[in-house]
Amino acid sequence: MALNLPVDVLRSFVAVVDGGSMLRASERVFLSQPAISLQIKRLEELLQIPLFRREGRRLVLTTQGDDVLILAREMLALNDRIVATLTGEALGGPVRIGFVQDFAETLLQGLLAQLVALHPDVRLEVRVGGTPQLLDLLESDRLDVILGMGVAGDPAAIREEPMRWFGNAGLPVRDTIPLAVLERPCRFRDAAIAALEAAGRPYQLVVETPSLSVLRAAVRGGVGITCRTDLFGGLPEIAGPALPALPSVSYVLHKRARLPPALVHLCDLIAERVQDIGELDLHVD
């Protein structure tokens, strides 16, 4: 007799992995943490393999769990495509998305792959730029959805993060701080300069570029310091009193009015992905 895997159980399994914890998974699939734990146990019993191993208080996918995850994503994508097609919510034609560079580096690949898996007939038009430029394109009906940066407390915020200093820890002790920034308009550039000027710290712009990759290379090479959020990860953070405090920034999601249901789903998908940035460990809650 063929073994049938329940879609809801697979969805909970993927939610645990993507959410990073049982708590996050419960918020996604609207089940209690004990119920999700029972579903994971049921899936392991059906497959007769361990999906997770325990490392201290963390749950880590086993090699077999990694294999199941890949196939579970494929099954859920097919399920969702069938539902979207039969309910008239299949997405075809152009979808016009705008991202700031920070998200293009950390978010874009996985998000677009998932979008294409759900809607294979979609044609993607992706624009990367600064938030003011993307907002102009949205207002002129040249983009459908944009993901950018805003001030703390922005009504369109889907997540708020503190700005941080990044760079060689020896640079802030110089009489004149070497500063690496993106070209105007840039919220991080303005925040860094305002913080240094308010603290009376002399600075010099040693790198000014439109490219986040160039900025990253300059900071990694010890040419100057910069301020970003943890999306700029992989580089040393400068903590402590050596540099003045920085404000927080919002990750904002804007969309044009009267979106079709499939594009509303895309916005929900983007918001979920943004919430999961940095949640790499599977903690037992």
Residue-wise pLDDT tens digits, 154-198: 898 988 999 999 999 999 999 999 999 999 888 999 999 999 999
Residue 265 has pLDDT above 90, yes or no: no
pLDDT of 205 higher than 90 = yes
Say what the pLDDT of residue 282 is.
37
Tell me the average pLDDT across 117-141: 82
Q: What angle do CA 211, 272, 33 make, to 5 degrees?
A: 140
Q: Give the residue, 28 or 130, on which the prediction is more confident.
A: 130
Task: Give the pair of three-digit tokens for residue 184.
Answer: 């105007």
Split at pLDDT 50, 70, 90, the class of 85 is low
Q: What does the alpha-carbon distance between residue 44 and residue 24 come to, in Å, rounded to a whole number? A: 20
Looking at residue 284, what is its pLDDT? 36
Assess whether pLDDT exceeds 50 at residue 280.
Answer: no
Domains of the chain: 7-87 (1.10.10.10), 93-160+250-276 (3.40.190.10), 164-246 (3.40.190.10)
pLDDT bin (cut points 50, 70, 90) of residue 231 is: confident
